[in-house]
Amino acid sequence: MQDRHRIYVGGSWVASAGTATIPVVDPSSEQALATVPDGVAADVDRAVEAARAALDPWSATPPEVRGASLARVAEGLDRRRGEMAAVVARELGTPLALSDAVQVGMAITTFASMAPVVDLLPPEEHLGHSLVTYEPVGVVGAITPWNFPLQQIAVKVAAALAAGCTVVVKPSEVAPLDAFLLAEIIEEAGVVPGAFNLVSGTGPVVGEAIASHPGIDMVSFTGSTRAGVRVAELAASSVKKVALELGGKSPNVVLDDADLDQAVPHGVASAFSNAGQACSAQSRMLVPRSLLSRVEELAVAEAEAYTLGDPFAEGTRMGPLVSAVQRQRVQAYIVSGIDEGARLLTGGPQPPDGLTTGYFVRPTVFSDVTSEMTIAQEEIFGPVLAIMAYDSEEEALAIANDTVYGLSAGVWSADPARALRVGRRIRTGHVCVNGSPFDQLAPFGGCKRSGIGRENGRFGVEEFLEVKTLQL
């Protein structure tokens, strides 16, 4: 893969004001793939200037024209789908088939879903003697994570552009290569120069410059809760709007009438998707104590069926974690689970057999996990499932809500009405009932320390709008 020597600002590829570069490492081989510019604050200044210059012409572009541009971006992604999937698989370690279906497929769907912009914008309305209207919030700074690198850029950029905003994007320095391909596609789609700008670099430099910049009207951030708090602190200095999609410790409540042969494998898959590197991973499986042994048996069988290996090898179901740092962090959590008294059913902190190179972690399942344990409270971001037993539905709900997070959850029951009733009582922004597939048009986001705001569909567009009252 080629080194990237320039950032994208004002519709042109330009040199960074800094001279350093950041290596992008293949987590399967532990070898450098390419380098990207290590941007500096001056690059953010230049990108914000370009975005402000483009704001009036882009926001004045008729919605149907903006929508046509977004449709062309979706088409461009589809044309380069194979190339993009390979890039994400290589820089992140996601198995190629999953990279194509999820990492790239969801990004295509996101841009395509924003094409009918007119249908996504809230209509003006008369209240009393006032006219209530909606206008773009302005210049948006988008700071995105490495675990779903392309999709997370897409949900921010597509919605912001649909709303009439302009954007300055900082992709994760861990997996930034897909963002450069997207910039090429956006350029080819004929978006107004300066409406989309890309500055690579680190969070402490480029990310903080974006969050604190007085010329940026809103920051949309996805990442850890710790980093999100820092973004909010910096944004407060200029009283800018903030949207935060942060961590999770999602419960999966298996009720006593659930079909275990469906619920348990699906729950394991949710916990291990993307090697567990997903904020919405259902990493706590809550099960009736009377069914615990059967659940343990099914969970172990499912976990041990995962084939680890090269993301490009046929049959690989789980790739490596993204970095050595992430692997070390996950292994430390597994050790803490053992030390605090959880019962290790399968997996563990040792490297997987036969994989001496790459940042691989064994798919790990614990049982006898209680709420005071570290692995029940902190986001691990790796393939670690905690099985927690309960004795009543009320206790299950208490355990489910006993966390500072509130992003996602699952509920399983043979009675859909019961599942819905329980789901309503779990304090999260998103609940999956009986394994229902993810809906990209429905709002996604969290409460408590999982964040502020919503993404996807018209709800995502509305995040980038300001309400204005004209008294007549």
Q: What is the number of other CB atoms lying within 10 angstroms of the CB of residue 286?
A: 27
Residue 346's beta-bridge partner residues?
365
- Cα 465 from chain centroid (whole Å): 22
| 135's tokens | 């206008």
Q: Which of 91, 165, 173, 279 is catalytic?
A: 279
Q: Which CATH topology does 6-246+450-471 take?
A: Aldehyde Dehydrogenase; Chain A, domain 1 (3.40.605)
Task: Compute the distance between CA of residue 244 and CA of residue 316 in angstroms, rounded to an integer.
Answer: 33
Q: Which residues contact 398 (CB under 8 A, 6 or more apart)?
A: none
Q: What is the pLDDT of residue 2?
A: 85
What does pLDDT average to in each consecutive run of 10 residues of the chain (472 residues)? 94 98 98 97 98 98 97 98 98 97 97 95 96 98 98 98 98 98 97 98 98 98 97 97 97 98 98 97 98 98 97 96 98 98 98 95 98 98 98 98 98 98 98 95 96 96 97 96
Give the CA distances from residue 182 to residues 2, 84, 156, 306, in Å, rounded to whole numbers and listed in that order. 15, 9, 13, 32
Q: What is the pLDDT of residue 395?
A: 98
Task: Compute the distance between CA of residue 88 and CA of residue 146 in angstroms, rounded to an integer.
Answer: 10
Q: Which of 173, 245, 302, 463 is catalytic?
A: 245
- 368: left (phi > 0), else alpha (psi -120 to 50), else beta? left
Residue 465's beta-bridge partner residues?
136
pTM of the model: 0.96
Q: What is the pLDDT of residue 468?
A: 97
Q: What is the pLDDT of residue 1?
A: 79
Q: What is the pLDDT of residue 90?
A: 97
Phi/psi at 159 (5° precision): -70, -40
Q: Which residue is it, tokens 């990237």? A: 4
List every span in the chain annotated with CATH 3.40.605.10. Answer: 6-246+450-471
Active site residue 245: yes
Name the CATH architecture for the domain at 251-439.
Answer: 3-Layer(aba) Sandwich (3.40)
Task: Compute the distance between CA of residue 294 and CA of residue 273 in angstroms, rounded to an integer.
Answer: 22
